[in-house]
């Protein structure tokens, strides 16, 4: 079984990273969107895959991959090649 995670550039969630937008939504609607804001697609995709890896309900045999689709030029950039969840490292393991 496999799973492909994909995000795209020029995403609405990028706008939620703007502190002024966050303040306006919090003030006017009482909504905190800071946890859904995307300022770094690659980091966000890696975090999504780490959440899959850490979910007890999902088999570590699941093969995952992650891509960023560039809406300007139509290119699909690979962030994580097809990898079993059991082999996915968290950010602390990658940086050491």
Q: What is the pLDDT of residue 35?
A: 87
Domain count, the chain: 1
Q: Band the pLDDT of 91: cuts 50, 70, 90.
A: low
Q: Residue 89's domain spans which residues?
A: 2-95
Which residue, 17, 40, 34, 37, is CA-closest to 91?
40
pLDDT tens digits for range 33-85: 988 899 999 999 999 999 999 999 999 899 999 999 999 999 999 999 999 99
Angle, vertex CA 72, rays to CA 48 and CA 44, nearest 5: 15
CB contact at 8 A, 60 and 84: yes
Pairing between β-strand 2-8 and β-strand 63-69 as defined by DSSP bridges: parallel
Among the ranges given (6-15, 57-66, 85-94), the one the predictor scored with the smallest mean pLDDT: 85-94
3-state secondary structure 39-78: CCHHHHHHHHHHHHHHCCCCCCCCEEEEEEECCCCCCEEE
In this prediction the pTM is 0.80
SS3 content of the chain, % helix, strand, coil (to 5): 40, 25, 40
Does 94 have pLDDT greater than 90? Answer: no
Output the domain CATH number for residue 22. Answer: 3.40.1050.10
């Amino acid at each position: 079984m496999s799973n492909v995670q994909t995000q795209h550039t020029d995403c609405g969630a990028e706008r939620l990273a703007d502190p002024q937008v966050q303040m306006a939504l919090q003030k006017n609607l009482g909504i905190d969107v800071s946890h859904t804001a995307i300022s770094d697609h690659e980091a966000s995709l890696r975090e999504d895959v780490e959440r899959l890896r850490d979910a007890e309900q999902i088999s570590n045999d699941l093969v995952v991959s992650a891509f960023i689709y560039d809406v300007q030029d139509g290119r699909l950039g690979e962030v994580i090649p097809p990898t079993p969840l059991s082999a996915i490292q968290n950010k602390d393991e990658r940086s050491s």
